[in-house]
Amino acid sequence: MVLKIVENFDASFTINPEAQATLFSLLTNEAFVQQVSQQLQGARVEFTQLLFQPVPYSQNTPKGMPREFELYHDSDDYAIVNVPPNFMVKAKIFKPSRLCAIYQKVNVSE
């Protein structure tokens, strides 16, 4: 078996406005937000409306995400969630095949 090393991966994508509205609606649905919150030991979260396409691991992308999103990975104030495949289908998004959404943990005292 031969392994192909990916040096550069184009992670850019566009989503039409209708699909984006549907996806954002699903990602902000109270039941889904509660599931995300539950996984984070009850921390209250809000969807930041930031999405990215996961990328292959490489020297330039050691966390499997575009560099500009690594600050969210390194922060305790944010959570990165895989967008459920059924959300992608409901929003009629087939390319890219995978997306991640960023949620911000919200301080209850705000």
Average pLDDT (11-26) is 89
Q: What is the mean pLDDT of the chain?
A: 88
Report the domain count for the chain. Answer: 1
pTM: 0.84
Q: Is residue 69 part of a domain?
A: yes
Q: pLDDT tens digits for 34-48?
A: 999 999 988 899 999
pLDDT over 60 (residue 10)? no
Domain residues for 67? 17-106
Closest Cα to residue 15, out of 88, 82, 75, 78? 88
Asked if the structure places residue 5 within a domain, the reply is no
pLDDT band at 14 (very low <50, low <70, confident <90, very high): confident
Q: CA 49, 23, 17 angle in degrees (round to 5)?
A: 85
**What's the pLDDT score for residue 35?**
95
Whether 54 and 64 have beta carbons less than 8 Å apart is answered as: yes
Question: Is 77 part of a structural domain of the chain?
Answer: yes
Please tell me what DSSP assigns to residue 68.
G
